[in-house]
Amino acid sequence: MLWQQLANGIAIGSVYALISLGLTMVYGILRILHVAHAGIYALGAYVGLLSFRLVGNFWLSLVVGMAGAAVAGYVVERFLYTPLLHLPRIAPLIVSIGLFTAMEEAFRIVAGPHTLAYNARVGLGDLSIGGFHLTETQILILFVTFAVLIFLWAFLTKTRTGLAMRACAQDPETTSSFGVNVSRIIAINFLIGSAMAGAAGVLIGVYDNQVWPTMGSIPAYKALAIVVLGGLGNIPGTVLASIVVGLAETFFIGVLAIPFPRDAVAFVAMILVLMFKPYGLLGKA
Amino acid sequence: MISGYLITILIIIVIYAMLAHSLNIITGHAGQISLGHAAFFGIGAYTSAMLYTEAGFPFWISIPLAAVVAGIVGALLGIPCLRVRDDFLAITTMGINFVVEAIFLYIPFFGGAMGIGGINLPKWFGREMTKPEYFILILVVFFFLLLLDRRMGHSWIGLAWASIREDEQAAGAMGVDVVRFKVLAFILGSAIAGLAGGFYAHFLTFIMPQNFGFGQSIVVLSMVVFGGIGTRWGPIVGAIILGILPEVSRPIMEYRTLIYGVLLLGMMRFQPGGLLGSGSILSRTLQRLSITYGSKGESR
Amino acid sequence: MKSRGFLFSFFVLAVLFLAGATYGQDIPIGFFAPITGPAAADGASAKNAVELGLKEVNDAGGINGKKINLIIYDDRLNPQEAVAIANKLIEKDKVIGVVSGSYSGPTRVTAPLFQKAGIPMVAGYAVHPDVTWDPKEKKPNDFCFRNGFLGEIEGAAAAEFAVKNLKAKKVSLIFMDNDFGRAISSGFADRAEKLGSKVLTKQMYKFPGEKDFRPYLTRIKEGNPDLIFAAGYYNEAASIVRQAKELGISSKIMGEEGFDSPKFLEISGSSAEGVVIATNLDRDDPRPLVQNFLKNYRKAYNEDADMVGASSYDAFMILVNAVKKAGTDPKSIQKALLETKDYNGLTGKISRFVQGEVVKPVQIQVVKGGKFHRLGVVDNPEVITPPTKQ
């Protein structure tokens, strides 16, 4: 059973990673707590589902979902966040919360309050090694997350734009004085982060076979706890924190069987870590 | 004969105004974003509820104790919290909200998912208070709190807070004990929130852990921000407007929450100082009006 | 000039009077449900079903010639709003009766208000015991009635069937952490143990929002129970059932009324086959009342009815029936409700009310061929009779 729980924990941790990465990237570059990121995650699921209903192909729906989310992220950045950058940080935070509330309601009004089924099959089949049983969707999640992480790593370390992005996160003024178009970098940052959230939305939609208007509620705050746990703005930290939380939740419930609300685990972990490391697991001042 | 419906709305608004005011002390005076303020609201509500139903304490004792307990918890949580900075603090307050809600939900001593019921209105002169009388009571209490706030604002505490809000590092360099004043704001803010929670419990007669979760924290924060953080009347105005909104928009009930979200979004996007903050359309209009009418005596 | 003005105002007044008079001819009945917010799906179901009932009654001429004016409010699953709504219904809308299409929170907080005002309220499916019982005064709220089952009773009935008919000797429980989940699971566990079965594990999950049940199910699988009793609403139900199949669990799965929704069937797909549930709606009930409701609901809303809708419809009809018998005086309506005997409801035959709670058999349905069908009924009086509290 332990192996199965391990698989469960890593699978859900991977999805957390996909959502949280976008959040930490946005924070890294704009220092904004982008709560509406969870709304974009849900949008990705809805757009993906819609395209799946029209075309019937999972991979296509994944791409469309990611694209839809990316566009939404770009719009939010351009019209809502960037104009408010000169204000105290509570302003974009409240804007984000207002936007998230409005998005959830929009989903309910447009697509209905009921849960919709996202019945995509990829035809991979399950994998069984001894007591270790990975379902098809779990394999899919691991595969996509792995691909995305490789891409991100390559992008950030091997390309000029990626390098510029890391520089921007550290010091936007100096970076722009070097001739880098900071505004363009910010846009790309949002595009990538939002696309990942969209992917997470599609994957969860398929994993649970459910898409519903308030599906972003829990990820909205859980992802915040995760990025703080890992270190705000720190990408490897976020990945680590995501897996830690995924495993912690699974083991709490499935192995230790302690009756404790699953969603509070991330926050408890976060608070404990912050007591000893005020900047998160891998964060720096 | 004032309608019971109207009184209900008024009581809810005053409680929210008190809650928003208490958050404003933390956010506005001490400059800390708290995303989990409903936790203290809940601690006050549960304290009062349990003292009343389990220990048989009368309302007049359970309410002040609610404030005291909430204030103590605020102090305990405030001190380690302040080791953490800015955005980390904001999310930590959110975390506290979740943990407190979980405690109420999962520990049977606090009633668990069933909540606590049978919390009645206070008794005085040998009979139960009527709703209009309850309204007057909490209004009077709130009035005193505002007076207190005004006095503090004019005192050295208020000056210290103002300096911390403007520039924390400079204030520290000038010799202001930043940590001490922040903790003071935390304690005061949580205590008043606890008081509001006690009033809430006795009014609703029944409380559930879900009433004090993250959603409630956001509602209160929105009121403060909408009205204008750091302004004296802003949070109260915010509480009144956002408190009346559900009632007024009942005819369009399908779209209420959407309107709420858009309102919040729009307000912060275009008038980040809130309705009464400096630079807002409302305050500028009021200024212009006062200039026009103020100079009426001089011209012509 | 003067006489013309006088005539005109007389005319206006006459029109207003007639309009007011005809309006005053309507019977005002209140209704509240979580139409927006986190429970919007159930609120929509409840509203749709009650509106269907309203149309049926009004199209047939109303009650003794007068039409019903149904006043609908959205409580957003928020107790404060519910309190405001209750006050509005009592004072402004002056209703003679109320139907609750909402959850425990709003229903429970408004029950004392309706009780004090002497306005009868019938709750469709809210489960908290305090709806019909005042915990401080320790006496029943005798103006409040509940159409749905108490959690403990539904759980006990499910256990009765599970042990006696399905021969389950080892059971595992998984339930949500709200009042319903706790009540129904403790009702099930107590009865199961009384009948000689062994409860292997009891796991509680956060509601709402939990979607990933694999950690819970993996642990359940270890013990290899004969039957898993799962409590949840249709989202959770569908997830539990699907993920159980994914993980290769072969134990029988038994659910409760929360499973009773076409959405559950849609989302779980083939994994729902063979799942058994305890509920109040019997799809195979030959009575025209049931079959017509199912047919008309489908025709009007293009989807199948669920437990929430059926229960709310029934609550409405119970109230209407009492008004038909007793007239529009709230006290008389309450008396008629208290004297209910063998009422033929959509969700079962109510023998009588005990302190506001129904004495009604629990239906056991099974999913066969992708649809709910009758599997059995639990009508053992020992199990289905609500306790009389002191």
Reported as a pLDDT band with limits 50, 70 and 90, residue A263 is confident
Q: Give all strands (DSSP E) within chain A, no chain letters.
A: 127-129, 132-134
The confidence score (pLDDT) of residue A41 equals 96
pLDDT higher at B261 or B70: B70
The confidence score (pLDDT) of residue B300 equals 36
Chains with at least 3 CB pairs less than 8 angstroms from chain B: A, C
Q: Is residue C27 within a helix (H) or strand (E), and if so which, with residue range?
A: strand C27-33
DSSP A36: T
Cα distance from B51 to chain C (closest Cα, Å)?
14
- Cis peptide bond upstream of C129, omega within 30: no
Residue A259 above 90 pLDDT?
no
Inter-chain touch C92–B5, beta carbons under 8 Å: yes
Chains with at least 3 CB pairs less than 8 angstroms from chain C: A, B
C177/B contact by beta carbon, under 8 A: yes
Q: What pLDDT, in 10s, does the model give residues A17-51?
A: 999 999 999 988 888 889 899 999 999 999 999 99
Q: What pLDDT, in 10s, does the model give residues C249-291?
A: 999 999 999 999 988 998 888 999 999 999 998 888 889 999 9
A112 by Cβ neighbours in 10 Å (0-12 / 13-18 / 19+) ranks as middle
pLDDT higher at B54 or C11: B54
The confidence score (pLDDT) of residue A265 equals 86
Mutate to test the interface with B, among C71, C81, C87, C127 (most CBs of B within 10 A): C87
Inter-chain touch A210–C41, beta carbons under 8 Å: no
Inter-chain touch B266–A221, beta carbons under 8 Å: no
Length of chain C, please?
Answer: 390
The confidence score (pLDDT) of residue B219 equals 86
The confidence score (pLDDT) of residue C16 equals 45
Contacts of A257 in chain C (CB under 8 A): 201, 203, 219
The confidence score (pLDDT) of residue B83 equals 67
Rounded to whole angstroms, the Cα distance separating C34 from C37 reads: 7
Reported as a pLDDT band with limits 50, 70 and 90, residue B288 is confident
Amino acid identity at C248:
G
A-to-B residue pairs, Cβ atoms closer than 8 angstroms: 119
Distances (CA, A) of C20 to A107, A220, C17, C25: 41, 51, 5, 8
CATH of A2-276, picked from 1.10.3470, 3.40.50, 2.60.40, 1.10.1760, is 1.10.3470
H, E, C per residue of A39-100:
HHHHHHHHHHHHHHHHHCCHHHHHHHHHHHHHHHHHHHHHHHHHHHCCCCCHHHHHHHHHHH
Q: Give me the half-sphere count of Cα atoms (radius 13 Å) on the Cβ side of residue C144.
A: 28
C79, C84, C179: residue with CB nearest B211 = C79
Inter-chain touch C74–B114, beta carbons under 8 Å: no
A-to-C residue pairs, Cβ atoms closer than 8 angstroms: 93
Residue B299 above 50 pLDDT?
no
Please give the model's pTM, rounded to 2 decimal places.
Answer: 0.82
The confidence score (pLDDT) of residue A130 equals 64
B255/A contact by beta carbon, under 8 A: yes
Q: What pLDDT, in 10s, does the model give residues B19-64?
A: 999 999 988 777 777 888 999 999 999 999 999 888 888 888 999 9
The residue behind tokens 């059973």 is: A1
Measured in whole angstroms, how far is the alpha carbon of residue C222 from the centre of its chain? Answer: 35
Average pLDDT over every residue of B107-121: 79
Contacts of B256 in chain C (CB under 8 A): 36, 74, 76
C276-279 sheet: strands from edge to edge: C198-205, C170-176, C227-230, C252-255, C276-279, C362-368, C371-378
C109/B contact by beta carbon, under 8 A: yes
Cα distance from C196 to chain B (closest Cα, Å)?
28
Q: Which fold has domain B4-275?
A: ABC transporter involved in vitamin B12 uptake, BtuC (1.10.3470)
Cα distance from C248 to chain B (closest Cα, Å)?
31
Contacts of A103 in chain B (CB under 8 A): 261
Both tokens of residue C273?
């086959």
Residue B296 above 50 pLDDT?
no
Q: What pLDDT, in 10s, does the model give residues C34-80?
A: 988 778 889 999 999 999 999 999 999 888 889 999 999 999 888 88
Reported as a pLDDT band with limits 50, 70 and 90, residue B2 is low
The confidence score (pLDDT) of residue C43 equals 93
| Alpha helices (H) in C195-287, listed in sequence order | 214-223, 234-246, 262-268
Inter-chain touch A218–C209, beta carbons under 8 Å: yes
Contacts of B3 in chain C (CB under 8 A): 87, 91-92
C216, C242, C268: residue with CB nearest A254 = C216
Cα distance from C136 to chain B (closest Cα, Å)?
5
The confidence score (pLDDT) of residue C18 equals 44
Both tokens of residue B277?
């903050």
Secondary structure (DSSP) of C352-381: EEETTEEE-PEEEEEEETTEEEEEEEE--H
Reported as a pLDDT band with limits 50, 70 and 90, residue B250 is low
Q: Which segment of A52-66, A190-204, C124-138, C324-338 scores lowest on mean pLDDT?
A: C124-138
C205, C219, C239: residue with CB nearest A208 = C239
Average pLDDT over every residue of B112-138: 82
| Alpha helices (H) in chain B, listed in sequence order | 4-24, 38-53, 59-81, 86-106, 131-154, 156-166, 168-173, 178-204, 214-227, 234-248, 256-270, 281-294
Cβ atoms of A176 and A182 closer than 8 Å: yes
Reported as a pLDDT band with limits 50, 70 and 90, residue C19 is very low
Cα Dmax for chain C = 94
Is the confidence metric ipTM above 0.85 for this complex? no
Distances (CA, A) of C292 to A239, B220, C283, C315, C346: 55, 48, 11, 17, 10
C74/B contact by beta carbon, under 8 A: yes
Q: Where are the domains of chain A?
A: 2-276
Inter-chain touch B205–C109, beta carbons under 8 Å: yes
The confidence score (pLDDT) of residue B292 equals 65
Residue B262 above 90 pLDDT?
no
Share above pLDDT 70 across residues of chain C, in percent, rounded to a whole number: 94
The confidence score (pLDDT) of residue C7 equals 55
Residue C11 above 60 pLDDT?
no
Closest chain A residue by Cα to residue B229:
A90
Q: What pLDDT, in 10s, does the model give residues C305-321?
A: 999 999 999 999 999 99
Residue C1 above 50 pLDDT?
no
Inter-chain touch A115–C267, beta carbons under 8 Å: yes
Q: Which segment of A9-23, B13-27, B153-167, C368-382 scores lowest on mean pLDDT?
A: B153-167
Reported as a pLDDT band with limits 50, 70 and 90, residue C20 is very low
Q: What pLDDT, in 10s, does the model give residues A84-109?
A: 888 877 788 888 988 998 999 999 88
Cβ atoms of B133 and B139 closer than 8 Å: no
Distances (CA, A) of C324 to A147, B288, C49, C66, C336: 67, 64, 20, 10, 10
Average pLDDT over every residue of A133-156: 88
Cα distance from B205 to chain C (closest Cα, Å)?
7
CA angle C76/C81/C82 to nearest 5° reads 90
Residue C165 above 80 pLDDT?
yes
Cα distance from B300 to chain A (closest Cα, Å)?
43
pLDDT higher at C232 or A233: C232
Average pLDDT over every residue of A153-158: 90
Closest chain A residue by Cα to residue C217:
A254
Residue C155 above 90 pLDDT?
yes
A2-30 vs A160-170: helix axis angle to the nearest 10?
70
Share above pLDDT 90 across residues of chain C, in percent, rounded to a whole number: 62
CA angle A151/A156/A157 to nearest 5° reads 100
Torsion of CA A10, A11, A17, A20, to 10 degrees: -120
Closest chain C residue by Cα to residue A136:
C246
Q: Identify which of C232, C222, C237, C257 has the alpha carbon closest to the alpha carbon of residue C362.
A: C257
Q: Where are the domains of chain B?
A: 4-275
Q: If you compute the radius of gyration of chain A from its CA atoms, what whole number of angstroms results?
A: 18
